[in-house]
Chains A and B, each alone.
Chain A
């Protein structure tokens, strides 16, 4: 759903499908974005709307102080890291609790290049961030992927915290005060050597992010719809069988891990450019890893754009939450509980065609009296649950029913 929405060239025939446009297959029309990515018109329109909204954020943000460009921007970047994490989560079924390590490595790589080496070019800073994020993923992946399941998760968590501890303890990394990303004479990173004012800077960096995110999603789409992606799915479903049919399991999982590190490092580098100051708590602490994981689940980890949406929604929630209640941390907790019980497929997953939520909405629209039935059902269930709880309590207290 992450198409660029390029102009249609008036229903070209399906054979000449090299360029984006409209193709016809079996009498149905599809919008073709790139090779193999053909969307039904409705989804293409939705995707286009998403991209337009994404691009229009700087203008929308001027309408209300509640919506801040910086907040959406941050959310999109954490979301991008979550898209990378999702490659592991959705396809290989590995849960990493240490993904902030790559995000943080990217952010710190940009900060160190800017602070200690005075690198002023945005693109160089991003390249450095991506490179170091990838290397870090290589090292951590090599050491963690010897294990699966819980042990793998705990190892990633441990490596993440190790990095955090190293950064906190070293003056070179600015310890807890962090490092700024304001190189050179202009006190900011430059794009093609051009210096911008403060507002222009944030908008320019935002559009760079839009570009990076759209390209990142397209690349991810290609990866998961390739034979490699299918092999990862097979590994996720049953490692032993996957090995049995000749898939080099360890190499493939390692490659997926490193690829997700690329996304983390790139997103972290962008984050450094946006914030212009990098601190360990916000980039490396294990709770940040939890956030990134939560974003993927919140948006719907069985979808491609879910983690991105989850990232934006979560950061937005946390920001607005601070203004409306002093219990803003509880807010995310409540959302998580509601999600697990009510919408296990996440935001995007619940809105997808064929999801239980969509199906229920459809039934309700067809017959509004269903609401009463459901409410009664819920009431009955609550009564039954209370009765069972009483019974259990009696057994606990008296040993007999």
Chain B
């Protein structure tokens, strides 16, 4: 996969169509990854009659900046920082620069949010943790400063915890979407007729148990006559030894082994699985195995030939030589932070983008700076572009975008694992319609 800079200087788009397509503001175009199109005239002229404060927009982000979960957390932070950088390069929102302060989310989601509000932040982003998000969302509702979460993708958040949200939004595709994507991938790549038995190795907490539940549910619906679950393993987060689970998989040889492990746990599991030849006995299908891209070694990646989801973005689909926004974002992430950006990079980038594009549009419409209530209203049903493509923030406050998944391969050029033969699933294929719970939906197939 050699990477040339696009020969077409605008990656197949021109300024006028791009501005029109992205909602007409320079900020929207910049965040869609088309800053190259803006040139010098890209800064947004502020209309004289708009009543907009001069001082910069203060924003807060809480994410895991250390510990095992920082594998995801830092990606989200870098993504959010890149989005803010692009907003400021495009002249800010209605001329207002954006400043982002990041704190470690630890176990203090409510305290962090309260402190942001006390400091006068106009918007907050984060968190990564599902449990933390369940604690935070009701607090956001009562304090009334818009929070667009990067992750915290627990399925029940807007079904049960806060079933009628006003100020709390979530950008990233939520859990059920990646489980259904993984199930569809297993069926389409292996063939329903070849799958009789499945097994799972999932992290031992609410997220892992949920993911396994939905994968099992979906597989039983997708395969005629259902499937047999022959093994369920739940290693603890950060476990150093997964050999008991791997040995068991080798004994029962399931057709598909599903794993929702992420970050360092993926590395541990795949290294030990490769050492024990587990990949000869089963096909590994995961939701975010690719989150460990910066740690996985060549021989393991090649032995596994695992199928991995990549939530709502994979940096090379469409191929970055044909899609400039991907090319720019990938090289920005490489140059600035020396990482291969993952789906969690997009979590941070997209959360900021959702808020910024909605707010910029609103300033244009009302000719002044909008209130929290107005921003919250305009985010409902708001559509916007990122390098990942087109996203819609649903009326139920859940962002929905295409879900991506591919086969993990080694790339000499990148010096890391890449996804090849990527499939994209439209949100309607992997998520329930508004107002339906995930479980009702899968059971109705």
Contact = CB atoms under 8 A, between A and B. Distances in A.
A180 interface: yes
Interface of B: 65-66, 103-104, 106-108, 110-111, 114-115, 118-119, 130-132, 134-135, 138-139, 142-143, 154, 161, 204-207, 209
Contact of A277 (B65, B130, B134, B204): B134
Contact of B206 (A175, A182, A328): A175
- Top 9 A-B residue pairs of the complex, sorted by shortest distance between their CB atoms: A176-B205, A277-B135, A198-B142, A177-B131, A65-B118, A177-B206, A175-B206, A65-B119, A176-B206
Contacts of A178: 131, 134-135
Contacts of B104: 322, 326, 328
Contact of B107 (A180, A182, A187, A282): A282
Given A178-B131, A178-B135, A198-B143, A275 B110 contact: yes
Given A68-B114, A70-B111, A322-B104, A187 B138 contact: yes
11 contacts: A171-B209, A174-B206, A175-B206, A175-B209, A176-B131, A176-B205, A176-B207, A177-B154, A178-B134, A322-B106, A326-B65
B205 A168 contact: yes
A175 B205 CA distance: 7
A279 B131 contact: yes
B151 to A, nearest CB: 14
Nearest to B203: A176
A175 B131 CA distance: 9
Given A175-B209, A177-B131, A326 B66 contact: yes
Most chain-B Cβ atoms within 10 A of its Cβ — which of A74, A168, A277, A326?
Answer: A277
| Dominant SS among interface residues on chain A | helix
A118 interface: no
Given A176-B205, A279-B107, A322-B108, 17 more contacts: A70-B110, A70-B111, A70-B114, A74-B111, A171-B209, A175-B205, A177-B154, A187-B138, A197-B142, A276-B110, A279-B131, A281-B107, A319-B108, A322-B104, A322-B106, A323-B103, A326-B66
Interface of A: 65, 68, 70-71, 74, 168, 171, 174-178, 180, 182, 187, 197-198, 275-277, 279, 281-282, 319, 322-323, 326, 328
B134 A180 contact: yes
Contacts of A171: 209
B303 to A, nearest CB: 32
B382 to A, nearest CB: 26
B170 to A, nearest CB: 15
Given A168-B205, A198-B142, A276-B139, A71 B154 contact: no
A174 B156 CA distance: 12
B111 A277 contact: no
Nearest to A71: B111
A241 B115 CA distance: 54
B107 A319 contact: no
Given A68-B115, A175-B209, A319-B111, A275 B103 contact: no
